[in-house]
Amino acid sequence: MLSSLPYISSVPSPCYMIDLDLIEQNLRVLASVRERTGAKVLLALKGFAAFCTAPLINQYLDGTCASGAFEARLGAEEFGGAVHAYSPAFSDESLTDTARYATEISFNSPAQWQRFRPSVPSSIRCGLRINPEQSEAPRAIYDPCAPGSRLGTRASELQGADLDGISGCAFHTLCEADSHALERTLKAVEEKFPQLLEQCDWVNFGGGHHITRADYDVDHLCQLITTFRDRHGVEVILEPGEAVALDAGFLIATVLDIVHNDGDTAILDTSASAHMPDVLEMPYRPDISGAGDPGTRQFSYRLGGQTCLAGDIIGEYSFDTRLEIGQRLVFHDMAHYSMVKNNTFNGVPLPAIATHSASAGTTIVKEFTYRDYRDRLS
C-alpha cells in the first residue's frame, strides 16, 4: 500500500504523487487496443497534462488531443506525434496559433469551417465535430449531447452545409463510460450521419472511454473499432485522458487542525476547491488510504480544506485511530482532472508534483511558490 512507503513522509505537503509504474500499466492496456485494432490512441491533455511523464507516454501512444492553442503547443513541444485539436469556437488568433502545431483540427460547426477554411494549411486534416444526440454522461454538466448543447453539429443542421474539404468527423458522448455506451453512440452516428461518413477518411471517437478500469470489456471495444473501421473504411482515433492516469496518482496532505461543531472536522493543508475541484464539481468522494465510510470505523471526521469557502469539504470518513495534527493522509486517484484544473483561490499554494517508480525512486518534479500565484495576476 502506498501509504506505508517511506517517501510519503519525505515529499512536501501537499503533493501530487504520480506513480509511473501504475501509469505504465494503463498505457500497456491502451497500447494493446492500438495494436489489435490499428486505431490511433491520443492522450487527452484536458484530463492529464503532466509532461514530465511524456517520455513514458510516448512509448505507447500516438500523440495528444488539444482543446485549444496552448494545449496544442504543449502536445507538440513536449509529447510530439499527432496533435488533434478542437475548440467550441476559434478566433482568428487562436486558429492561427493552433494551426502551427495541429495535425488534425475538428471544427464545431459548418460556419466555423467555412470561416477558417481558406486559412488552414493544406497539411492539416480537417474534420467536423458532430452531435449524435446520444446522451451517455452520468450528469448534465458533463453531457455534450444534452438539449441546448453548444458542442457539435446535429444531423438536422447539416442540410445544405458545404463540407467540401472535410475529411473526417469527431464526436464525444462519453464520460467514465464502458464499451456498451460507445456501442449505442456508434449506432446513433451511423443512423444520423450516413452521408458524412461516406466522405470521411477518419473518425475520432472522442474521450470518456474508461478502458483501463478493471471491469472494462476491452475485447468488446476492439470488436467495435474493427467492425466500424472495416464497414466505413476509416481510420479510428481514440482520445482517452482519464484512462491514461486512472488510479495512478495520489495527493498527500497533512492535518493542520481539528475543530468541533456537530462533529469533528479535520482541516487539511489541501483543498477540494483549489486542489481537487472535481470533488465539488463532479461531485465525488475520493478514497483515502486506511479510511472507511463514516461510521464504519471507530473515529469519524469531516475533512475540510484551508480556503474560506464554506463548502470546501472533501467528505466524511472514519479511521481506526484518532487523527493527529501533523498526520499525513493519502487521497487516491488524484492524477487526472486535478493538476489540470487546480487553482490558487485565497492564495493557497499549489501542491508540489512528484513521481515515483520502483526503478527510479522518488523525484520531486516541481514545487510552487508565491511567484506562481502572483504571476497569474497583474
Residues above pLDDT 70, as percent of the chain: 98
Average pLDDT of span 258-268: 97
Asked if residue 180 and residue 285 are part of one domain, the reply reads no
Task: Give per-residue pLDDT as tens, 317-372.
Answer: 999 999 999 999 999 999 999 999 999 999 999 999 999 999 999 999 999 999 99
Q: How many CB atoms lie within 10 A of CB 233?
A: 10
Rounded CA gap, 48 and 55, in Å?
14
Q: Is 28 contained in some domain?
A: no
pLDDT for 5: 56
Q: Is 173 contained in some domain?
A: yes
Asked if residue 121 and residue 221 are part of one domain, the reply reads yes
Task: Give per-residue pLDDT as tens, 13-28.
Answer: 999 999 999 999 999 9
Asked if residue 210 and residue 71 are part of one domain, the reply reads yes
Asked if residue 139 and residue 191 are part of one domain, the reply reads yes
Asked if residue 253 and residue 225 are part of one domain, the reply reads no
Asked if residue 99 and residue 207 are part of one domain, the reply reads yes
Asked if residue 87 and residue 225 are part of one domain, the reply reads yes
Q: What CATH number has the domain bearing residue 290?
A: 2.40.37.10
Q: Is 30 contained in some domain?
A: no
Q: Is 33 contained in some domain?
A: no
Asked if residue 109 and residue 239 are part of one domain, the reply reads yes
Rounded CA gap, 84 and 19, in Å?
27
Asked if residue 174 and residue 62 are part of one domain, the reply reads yes
Asked if residue 294 and residue 195 are part of one domain, the reply reads no
The reported pTM is 0.95
Q: Which of 197, 223, 245 is the last residue of a domain?
A: 245
Rounded CA gap, 129 and 203, in Å?
10
Q: What is the total count of domains within the chain? A: 2
Q: Structural domain of residue 141, as residue ranges? A: 38-245
Residue 122, C-alpha cell as written in the block: 493544406
Q: Is 120 contained in some domain?
A: yes
Asked if residue 177 and residue 277 are part of one domain, the reply reads no
Average pLDDT of span 66-74: 97
Bridge-based pairing state of the strands 125-129 and 104-107? parallel
Give SS3 for 81.
Answer: coil
- Apex CA 55: angle with CA 372 and CA 35, to 5°? 130
Asked if residue 266 and residue 312 are part of one domain, the reply reads yes
Rounded CA gap, 281 and 173, in Å?
19
pLDDT band of 4, cuts 50, 70, 90 = very low
Secondary structure E strands in 158-263: 168-170, 202-204, 235-238, 249-260
